[in-house]
Amino acid sequence: MLSGTLPPEWASINLELLNLGSNSITGTLPPEWSQMQSLQSLTLSSNQLTGTLPAVWSIMSTLQEVSLDFNMLSGTLPPEWELISLTVVTLLSNNFSGTLPTAWKALVNLNTMQISNNRLNGTLPRECSSLSRISTLDLSKNSFVGTLHSSWSNMSLVQSLVLSSNQLSGSLPPEWAALTQLGRLDLSNNQFNGTLPKQWEEMGGAIPPFSSIPQLSLILREPHRKATRLAHEQLLDLLKLICAQRRLRNGTCHRFCVCVTFLFFLLSTCHDDCFLLGLLCV
């Protein structure tokens, strides 16, 4: 296992990929590495790095993937990081604070952004709607406040959107029905109210036959109730909608909602060739 600090002298090496993940490297991120003008992928996850993200790294014009998860990095996210080349940014489980920079709307080629389990605050930027190629967005376990923006419906390619364990409030935007590629939507542990928008029926069709479902997780509103799981050997995606909110009320029982009693009946009586239509929201 490697230890020590990151050598600033490596800036002169013509690297395209650098992976030093899962070591015991300490110290800070060298600003000098901004001179690595051929670097495309940088992985420093699971180390003991401290300090901030160097704003000067914004000149690394070839950088496509940055993975700095599970370190002790802190400070604010640099708005200077307007790297059009970036496709993956993962910063989860650090100590970043402050807001999500609105300038990051320039990351138009971004496919994955995971910044969960930090200390970010403020409101969710309306400008995120410019991330038209985003597939995975995870901002969970922070301290974001405010409401969900209807303009985020422009993120038409998003497949996984996780905003759980924040302090978000307000109603759920009907416009999000346009997010037809969603395979996972997690809004649990927030302060939402109102009803489930009827328009959300358009998000997906039928849940596949039970024999094709890898795992069915039913999240109940009461926090003391355990989730019910149904596992199978076949591996296909299961479309989930997690709305584990006490204050969230199913104002009218839409076609895609199944009451708890009937759901448990189905789980106890269905065979492998059974199927449920729509999304399950309990």
Beta strands 215-218 and 119-123, pairing class = unpaired
Domain ranges of the chain: 3-192, 205-238+245-282
Residue 280's pLDDT is 40
Q: In what order do the strands lie in the sheet with 143-146?
A: 74-76, 95-98, 119-123, 143-146, 167-170, 191-192
Q: How many CA atoms lie within 13 A of 232 on its CB side?
A: 18
Distance, first Cα to last Cα, the chain? 46
**pLDDT recorded at residue 233:** 37
Residue in the block written with tokens 């199944």: 258
Which of 250, 242, 238 is CA-nearest to residue 185?
A: 242
Q: What's the CATH number for 3-192?
A: 3.80.10.10
> For residue 40, what pLDDT is reported?
96
Token pair belonging to 83 = 């790297």
User: Which segments within the chain are labelled E, that is strand?
Assistant: 3-5, 17-19, 24-26, 41-43, 65-67, 74-76, 88-90, 95-98, 112-114, 119-123, 136-138, 143-146, 160-162, 167-170, 184-186, 191-192, 215-218, 228-231, 240-242
Helix ranges (DSSP H) in 133-280 = 260-269
Per-residue pLDDT 10s for the chain (282 aa) are 999 999 999 999 999 999 999 999 999 999 999 999 899 999 999 999 999 999 999 999 999 999 999 999 999 999 999 889 999 999 999 999 999 999 999 999 999 999 999 999 999 999 999 999 999 999 999 999 999 999 999 999 999 999 999 999 999 999 999 998 988 999 999 999 988 888 887 665 444 444 443 443 333 333 333 333 444 433 333 334 444 433 444 444 443 443 333 344 444 444 443 333 333 433
25 φ/ψ angles, rounded to the nearest 5 degrees: -75, 135
**Tell me, what's the pLDDT at 201?**
72
pLDDT given at position 199: 83
> What's the pLDDT at 195?
85
